[in-house]
Amino acid sequence: MSRKYRGIGNTGGGRGTVTHGNSSKNRNESTRNHGNWYDTKVKTGVYDGDNKPAKLVSQLDVHTELLEIDGSVLEGGGQVLRISTALSCILKRPIRVSKIRAGRSKPGLAAQHLTGLELLALLTNGEVVGAEKGSQEIELAPSKLEPPQCVYGVVGTAGSIGLLLQSIVPVLLFSEGSYDKVIETSIRLVGGTDVDFAPTLDFYLNVFKVYLTRMLGSRDHTVISPVLNRRGYFPAGGGAVTLDIYRNNGASVIPGFTFVEHGNLRQIGVSVYVSQGVFKSRAKQCYNTALETVRTEFPRIEIKEEFNVISDKSQCFRDGYNILVTALTDTGYILAQNAVGGKGTDPEAMARDAVIRLQDDVRAEACVDSQMQDQLIIFMFLAIGSSKIKTGSLTMHTKTAIHICNLFDDEVKFEIREVTCSEKDSTPRQNSKPKSFIIECSGRQGFYRGDG
């Protein structure tokens, strides 16, 4: 099928390109020509090693029935677009999303959202209309999952790679391809790995990947391997991530899952990463404050400490620092919060805030933290059988994800109920009673019987 794309632009202000193909030979030659594939000379856009331009279309087939989605509902930002486009590709349901990011100061598609949209269309051989920066309405008509052997998604800004993965990974796992065909592809992304208002790549590698492995289990013939090649901090971006996926038995299938037994707190982790540059002293302040706050908020709990200086300049595009604080329970759950520092950031305040947010999740006896809960909704929706997760207060992102899922299939039932906390992990900060919730979903059980 043909596609309509407009590139994001390069550092000189021009437009990038979108290309497609399947030649592993060209893929390898392209990598060699660039040295490190994530070299700064890699051009902005979405493409693969074949470097062929995509065909343009001005509109979808007039007979295409579109599911209408209001991009201004609830969270009113990129979350609506991410989960809508992912479900569109998985269920092969054409969509029109209007009023995109209407709740933001700069509405419409930003570079990260545009890259994500183009990637999904390329991976599923789909048609897309309105794929240009600032667009407040798009149409997407996906087809079967047919990814090239290597795909590049270069944002051109510090747009979050972690947020890109929220839509790409479910599509690579669950979209229908040819059931007698192995899916093996390498997604290479350049953008922000450590930016505000998004999970960092450390969160993705240390938390999301743990839950994904737990959901897929050993029965699924799927291997997914994310690698952080180079850090990219706000505002420069330039971070690089490789996501390799191997799938040899059709679309992945996950049974319903239950994450509700919080157990007892076993260990707190404090990890700080800083480039070898101007922020080293601030990062040390952040680290020391985090440890001091952890000792106050989590007395008598083992602490795992890491202060990591990135001495190799090739592993960090520009100067910056970030922190990840984690809580590990004896039932195998890991809760986490992250924060990113820069020129205008108070390192002590950012450290305290990250620890306090983590403590809120712990006091709620959550098995899923506030950054993770919305990311699991799409997996609960697609699972065979009912799923349950225990978390703290629902975020607006989570409420938005549930709403969008029900637009695609309102027969899938989500139930949310508040439960009582024992407060066994209570600390000296007792100014409010923690709230804990169970989110339960019936699962879209018929999807894997061929109704997709």
> Rounded CA gap, 126 and 132, in Å?
16
Question: Is 397 annotated as catalytic?
Answer: yes
Q: Describe the crossing of helices 161-174 and 111-123 by its angle, rounded to 10 degrees.
A: 20
| Burial (Cβ within 10 Å: 0-12, 13-18, ≥19) of residue 394 | middle
Strand order in the sheet with 387-391: 258-259, 387-391, 436-441, 414-419
Residue 18: name the closest of 30, 6, 2 by CA: 6
Active-site position among 20, 113, 262, 397: 397
Q: Which residues pair with 339 in a beta bridge?
A: 323
Amino acid at 423: E
**286 in helix, strand or coil?**
helix
Q: Which residues pair with 307 in a beta bridge?
A: 272
Rounded (10°) CA dihedral 287, 293, 298, 299 = 100
Q: Assign 3-class secondary structure to 93-145.
A: CCEEEECCCCCCCCCCCCHHHHHHHHHHHHHCCCEEECCCCCCCEEEEECCCC
Asked whether the beta carbons of 154 and 117 are under 8 A apart, the reply is no
**440 vs 366: CA distance, rounded Å:** 14
Asked if 90 and 170 touch (Cβ cutoff 8 Å), the reply is yes
Which residues are identified as catalytic? 397
